[in-house]
Structure 1
Amino acid sequence: MEIALITHAGLPELPEDDRRLLKPLGARGLLPHVVVWDDPKVDWKRFRVAVVRATWDYFLKPAAFQSWLMRMEPDVVKLLNPPDVLRWNSHKSYLLQLAERGIAVTPTLLCPRGQKASLPALVATRGWKSVVIKPAVSGGGRLTRRFEGARLGDEGQAHLNAVLLEGDALVQPFLPALHQKGERSYIFFDGVFSHAVARPATMEAPGGVAPDGVRMEPRGDEVALAERVLAATPGRTLYARVDVATGLDGKPLLQEQEVIEPRLFFGASEGSAERLSDLIASHARGLAR
């Protein structure tokens, strides 16, 4: 059975971590093809299942990505994760939706495109001394910057205005623990916890490239938070990564819920690529649990 592992044109062979799937998928009777998501020559109907893995440029052309998701109907190919879940996760306003459902998330203000927003006024009403400004549709740290003190005025406002020129913007308090110690990522396959990795901060990393994660023992309170996030996600996920940071009060907060194209750190957990391959094979055979 032919299946597709979906990437983008900048990585036509898949990232090294995702190439760990190729051998176990073949061992399970599947023939994986690495496919670029917006390649117009692709015949999606030839594949039993298509698994999104490295569409790392989707936020640079969001309209094209949304159009592509619309075309990936069930009678074309079984897309994993499902289009509705990918669509929901592509705009970071999902953080506000999860907060409304009682999930502890990093405090987030959404500034809609086309509306004026005074950064000093927003910060003053919440008592934040240092903030992070980022696009609501983004990845890899693009246009994500930190401002504090006097820089919250002209410089911070100018950056917020620049982000709002192209789309919605988010303003969040800067979390010192995130900058000093990074975040923890909890990886789930079919809703079941697989492994956790500790990751250094990425906001100021050159090129926004996600650094390697180091396997860590899961923390009970953070696993519980991640499980609540998954329970509140509007749809079943083949894979999910929940990124957790430490809040100003020392308690865990959801930083991001990644269900589009997260790195899953197979190299940090022996057997994890095989476990996901089992699930992909089950979907391909129409026997998903």
Structure 2
Amino acid sequence: MLTEVTATRYVTPLREGGSLPGLVEADDLAPYVMKFTGAGQGRKTLVAEVICGGLARRLGFRVPGLVTIGLDPVLGLGEPDQEVQALLKSSGGVNLGMEYLSGALGFDPLAYEVDPAEAGRVVWFDALINNVDRSWRNPNMLVWHGDLWLIDHGASMIWHHNWRGAKSAAWTDKPYDATDHALARFAPDVTEAAAALAPRVTEELLGETVADVPDVWLADEPGFDGPDAVRSAYVEMLLARAATIHERIALPESGADRTRPTAPGWLTGGTDR
């Protein structure tokens, strides 16, 4: 289960995100990027963050640590921004916090090189979770202490917005279009990535991952007999996709703005703070 903390101070909104996440301080004296149950995307965005972030960490990717954050709506009473105040008031209870990577820089594919092996691992992982939000327009990656970190997985697993139609729509076999992926230009080796990662996506590993999702975010899901049944559905879907998804990843044609860097890292000596 995720560590539980309580928000003690709302610091500032982070307006880069569509769901208006905010920087908060908690009772463990640490800062967190907080995502709210009262945001427009709802609790399923938080479920996706927990499952995809937890799975990424278990597969060896760099992702910020996650906690659940208890929020007392009274924190919103003193906020001068009406939008923030309404968000805090509507998000009482359990919310999601992400480790704040102080000084991290946004990933820029024109300034930071990624080798084909790492690019392939990220593209394969995004295909597994059907992440539609890692394009060059919005990479959702950071560079921290010289390394690539993955963030913001709330737009993944879009099948869970319609569980009734998930199987009929053949989501387990649905192809993944990576032609617009932020790492497509680095000749991602998805075959090698699949060979290394797919065998690790076991029912046991997925079971550990979905166990991190709080019951309250899975309650009252139509068509399911409680939170554990919903967790089993996530395990079933991801396990089925893992085996062969690499065969259905569409990448740019060879030579179409694809490069093979000689070494990963900053192109012109840039550094993060």
Q: Normalising TM by the smaller chain, what interval? A: under 0.3
- Superposition TM-score, scaled by structure 2 size: 0.24
- Superposition TM-score, scaled by structure 1 size: 0.23
User: If each structure's strand is expressed as a fraction of its own residues, which one has the higher value?
Assistant: 1
